[in-house]
Copies of this chain bind each other. A is one copy, B any other.
Amino acid sequence: MDATEALGARFETWQQFEFDESRCAVRGLLDRIGDRWSMLLLCALAAGPRRFSALARLVPDISKRMLTQTLRILEADGLVHREVRPTVPPSVTYSLTPLGRSFTVPLLGLIDWAEAHFAQVVEARERRAAAA
């Protein structure tokens, strides 16, 4: 059974649960990390703990608002650890939890696919644009 068949079989079990949020993991997962920044921040933290301002520099076009919000969600989901040292000025360091590190395995798989096949996706789009 290849991955496509396995995925198809998986989908059919979800139907039996009627995609109940608490049991349908895809929905629950994508609602949380399917946004523009979550995966990128997890990638940034994979290289090691980073402070707030360091993350802001690493991901150039994220606003402070979105950075804070996304980190809060990742922290609430148990993927990221937030450590505050009560110095003056304050120093806050973010790092991956063991759960967050376990997530880097499938995340790396996704990114490997993207880097290997993204050219094909772009080509498909261009071919379609040319046809229109």
A88 at the interface (CB under 8 A from B): no
Q: B8 to A46, Cβ gap below 8 A?
A: yes
Q: A76 to B124, Cβ gap below 8 A?
A: yes
Given A7-B108, A28-B118, A39-B26, the answer on whether A12 and B124 have CB atoms closer than 8 Å is no
This protein's copies in its complex: 2
Q: Which one of A7, A27, A76, A102 has the highest number of Cβ atoms from chain B below 10 Å of its Cβ?
A: A7
- Cα–Cα, bound, A8→B40 (Å): 11
A67 at the interface (CB under 8 A from B): no
B residues near A61, Cβ cutoff 8 Å = 19
B residues near A26, Cβ cutoff 8 Å = 39-40, 43, 111, 114
B residues near A35, Cβ cutoff 8 Å = 34
B residues near A99, Cβ cutoff 8 Å = 117, 120-121, 124
B residues near A109, Cβ cutoff 8 Å = 105-106, 109-110
Contact of A10 among B27, B108, B121 (CB under 8 A): B108
- Add 17 more A-B contacts to A8-B46, A27-B40, A102-B117 (CB < 8 A): A3-B105, A4-B96, A5-B46, A5-B47, A7-B42, A7-B47, A7-B108, A7-B111, A11-B43, A11-B47, A26-B39, A28-B118, A30-B39, A34-B36, A99-B117, A105-B113, A106-B110
